[in-house]
Structure 1
Amino acid sequence: MKKFIINCLCAGVLSGSALAAAAQAPLSVSLHNPAGVAGGLVEVDYAMVAAQWAPLGKGSFKVLNTATGKEVPYQVLTEGTGQPVKILLDVPLKAGASTTIRFVAGKPAPVAAKTYGRYVPERKDDFAWENNRVAFRMYGKALEATPKEMAYGVDFWNKRTENLVINKWYKRTNYHKDDGDGLDYYHVGLTLGAGGIAPYLQDSIWFSRNYTGHRTLDSGPLRTSFELSYDAWQVSGKPVTVTKTVSLDAHAQLSKMQVRYSQSLPVAIGIIKRKDPGTILLQEANGVMGYWEPQHGADGTTGIGCIVLAPVKEMKVEKGHVLAVAATDGNGAITYYTGGAWDKAGLIKNADQWFRYLQEQAERLRQPVTAKIIQKK
């Protein structure tokens, strides 16, 4: 009888050990890119992985590409909640391609920072953000005290380096001069600039003032995101407020703009149009709006473009802008993408290349990479 009890206890220990080992086993996830163009960074739901793989919330982990055996750079996103929400993976997938990644316990290799953003109080409340390709800024309340410099919209910085330049450029005596890594020559003024947004009623653009509140949500290395809030202003006789959540991924030319107004509204997303002739692309059906500016002397040429995921009512050239007119949803929200390219950066050199990039990104955004847990090993 004693021998039987001992054997049962040993079997229980072995069974418990086997279960513990199984819980620690690597978790495999299949990724598939359904689009006819190459994919960007890949989002995987943190809770989905945590439900199947206990080590995720207990310590450090690595992500391996099973085809190459190499580590996949990643970033855990909280989206300002203080808790993990998503895992952002830098795993390129060609058109229609699939691959498998594996989550394993262990200390990951450091990931070089490819995105960055911050509030810039030393330059009249700017908020600037960038990645390894492009840089932008939006304007804060302090700028309103200098009417000659006042600007509303999104500013685009012409950089031609993969290095992060925001802190370096703000220390320059003149970042409107190219010292080898680019310059800021893009003019915004009292316009929507490089893809700003505003209510559009009675055939008028109802500009807000500049942002008054800011909050960083995630800070690199693969994605920087932040939130800007605005004081109420009058729109056709009614007070309106807005909050803008902006994010930029590594390797992208476009920032994601998630905008929420205090009420449902028709809106215009706009690109300032220059006086000299440029090249314009208006594709209402797939929400793509592009502008290849006239050359800016020795500085080169800038392209600006927007992708609107919501239905677009119309696109037109009016009021000094290239405009896409749409509407928020029932909650006052709309999501779109805006960004730019500079021919001197060497990646996108002409209007055809820029418009093709925008069209491909529209397809990718509407058919994102999917993730599915397939097995443990």
Structure 2
Amino acid sequence: MRFLFLILALSFKLSYAQQPPLVITVQNQSDLLRENEIVEISWSKILARCPKIDTANFKVLNAATDAEIPYQLEMQGHPVRQLLLQVSLAPKEVLKLNIVAGKPKPITPKTYGRYVPERKDDFAWENDKVAFRLYGKALEGTPDDAQGLDIWAKRTEKLIVNKWYKSGDYHTDHGDGLDYYAVGMTLGAGDIAPFADGKIVYPKHYRQYQVLDNGPLRSSFMLDFDAVNVAGKMVRLRKKYTLDAGSRLNKVEVSLLENEDQKQEMVVGLVTVKQPGGKKYMNAKEGISYYWQKTDPKNGTIGVAALVARSFEKVFESEGQILNKLTLASQKPIVYYNGGVWDKQGEIKTEQEWLNYLRDFKQKLTKPLKVKLK
């Protein structure tokens, strides 16, 4: 019986290896350089064309050069949902890739996130450009309590979350960056909260988390919050964060956890009061807001931003923050993007370069890379 099993397994591998390669065509329809961008391909579509593919034994090759293309099988907490590829294309370039049998080269992880029980229930995550954290239940009521999204100023492509928490000394720059962004009782670098009667209604810190995927090219997780009383009605939120390698912005999907028909006004906030004197950009129609902080003589400048694919309903200032209004409805999540940059990281050093990055990011959302299989 064991011999028969080995024969069948070997014949399966041989039949898979003898299949013609599955060809993926990726086209850049824009005039932008698409550098180290993550492309999503439905795994069900790949299975339809290559039903015998072995998830542990395939490579993605550049058809012209045979160079390996980094990839990740995205699970979203379930069996494989998507194949993620990291590719670079010049304006209008068409790239042809082959999926072939073979053991892929190991990939150095470029994204990572985890629950941090040793630091009062933080949830922290990062990629090769930026790092963030949101606060957990154990921080509530302490002298250090804070509300919104914290951004860490890192200047290394290495992953530093574990290193910094282990040292406990991440408020001083020892060569790879530091945490000096001031959040306090605000929405920080682009968190979102209900808004009613002219006030932000801050929920308590997250109560449950679920890691969906954790690198090497994309990390994603969900945070659930307890219900909060908003003008007499109970609002319970779920936030799903996704961060890709190479990106300075998170994709954030916010949904209501109650089933009944409900609508709730929400605001995405960028704190200004903690670092006064910076430069503000607020354009509801364009769907871009940012705050470029006043330069600190020692630590430099952090820029933060909020962005949507279309438009914000309204952008205004209140409670020492730029507030970007969106409406959340049952069964219809809000999708927006938040994140930031540190000028000492060296790639984006000025306010104008930050605006250019955000406009290019938005153009990439509206003109995604086009993918075909054959």
| Shared fold (TM-score, shorter chain, > 0.5) | yes
Contact 2:343 2:349 (C-alpha < 8 Å) held by counterparts: yes
Match in the other structure for 1:12:
none
User: Which residue in 2 is equivalent to 1:211?
Assistant: 206
* 1:55 shift after superposition: 3.2
**Hey, what does 2:345 align to over in structure 1?**
345
1:97 matched to 2:97: no
Mapped partners of 1:99, 1:198: distance in 2: 41
Cα gap change, 1:267 to 1:179, in 2 (>3 Å): same
1:189 corresponds to which residue? 184
Q: Pick one of 43, 46, 49 that aligns with 1:46.
A: 43
* Larger Cα-atom Rg: 1
Structure 2 gap segments, 5+ residues each: 1-11
Please tell me the residue identity of whatever aligns with 2:71.
Answer: Y
Residue 122 of structure 1 aligns with an amino acid whose one-letter code is E
Q: State the partner residue of 1:325.
A: 325
- Correspondent of 2:131 among 132, 135, 142: 135
The counterpart of 1:31, out of the listed 3, 23, 26, is 26
Distance in 2 between residues matched to 1:252 and 1:278, nearest whole Å:
24
1:1-377 superposed matches below 5 A: 24-39=19-34, 40-57=37-54, 59-81=56-78, 83-146=79-142, 148-262=143-257, 263-274=262-273, 276-374=276-374
Question: Quick check: 2:16–2:101 contact (8 Å CA) kept in 1?
Answer: no
For the residue of structure 1 that corresponds to 2:140, the secondary structure is helix
CA drift of 1:315 comes to 1.3
1:332 CA displacement:
4.5
Asked if 2 retains the 8 angstrom alpha-carbon contact of 1:310 and 1:334, the reply is: no
- 3-state SS, counterpart of residue 197 of structure 1: strand
TM-score, normalised to structure 1, is: 0.90
Deviation digits for residues 320-372 of structure 1, max 9, x if unmatched? 11111121245241011111100110011010001110111011012211211
Supply the distance in 1 between the matched residues of 2:360 and 2:308 (Cα, whole angstroms).
13
Q: Partners of 2:175 and 2:17 in 1: how far apart?
A: 54
Q: Counterpart amino acid of 1:372?
A: K
Return the alpha-carbon distance in structure 1 between the equivalents of residues 293 and 144 of structure 2. Answer: 22
Q: Mean alpha-carbon deviation: is it higher for 35-44 or for 351-360?
A: 35-44
> How far apart, CA to CA, are the structure 1 residues paired with 2:31 and 2:268?
27
2:120 alignment partner AA: K
8 Å CA contact retained: 1:46, 1:87 = yes
Q: Quote how far apart the aligned CAs of 1:59 are.
A: 4.5
Offset at residue 71 of structure 1 (A): 0.4
Q: RMSD of the alignment, in Å?
A: 1.8
Cα distance between partner residues in 1 of 2:329 and 2:141: 34
3-state SS in 2 of match to 1:364: helix
How far apart, CA to CA, are the structure 2 residues paired with 1:37 and 1:285?
22
- Aligned-pair identity (%): 41
Q: Quote the Cα distance in structure 2 between the aligned partners of 1:143 and 1:197.
A: 19
Matched residues in 2 for 1:175 and 1:241: separation? 33
Task: Name the CA shift for 1:264/1:34 in 2 (closer, same or farther; >3 Å).
Answer: farther
Aligned to 1:6: none
Q: 1:88: Cα distance to partner?
A: 0.7
TM-score normalised over the length of structure 2: 0.91
Can you list the C-alpha shifts for 1:51-92, whole angstroms capped at 9, x where unaligned? 0012324641000111222000000000112x0000110111
Between stretches 351-360 and 328-337, larger displacement belongs to: 328-337
SS in 2 for 1:270: strand
State how far apart, in whole Å, the 2-side matches of 1:185 and 1:162 are: 19
1:328 counterpart SS class: strand
C-alpha displacement at 1:36, in angstroms?
3.1
Q: Aligned partners of 1:59 and 1:229: how far apart in 2?
A: 33
**Deviating 4+ runs (over 3 angstroms):** 20-23
Per-residue deviation at 1:310?
Answer: 5.0
Q: Which moved more, 1:158-167 or 1:262-271?
A: 262-271
Structure 1, residues 224-281: CA drift from partner, whole Å, max 9, x if none?
Answer: 1111110111111111111111111111111111111243212111100035321122
Task: Give me the whole-angstrom Cα distance separating, in 2, the residues matched to 1:175 and 1:22.
Answer: 49
In the alignment, the residues of structure 1 paired with residue 16 and residue 342 of structure 2 have an alpha-carbon distance, to the nearest angstrom, of: 53
Q: 1:38: how far off? A: 2.9
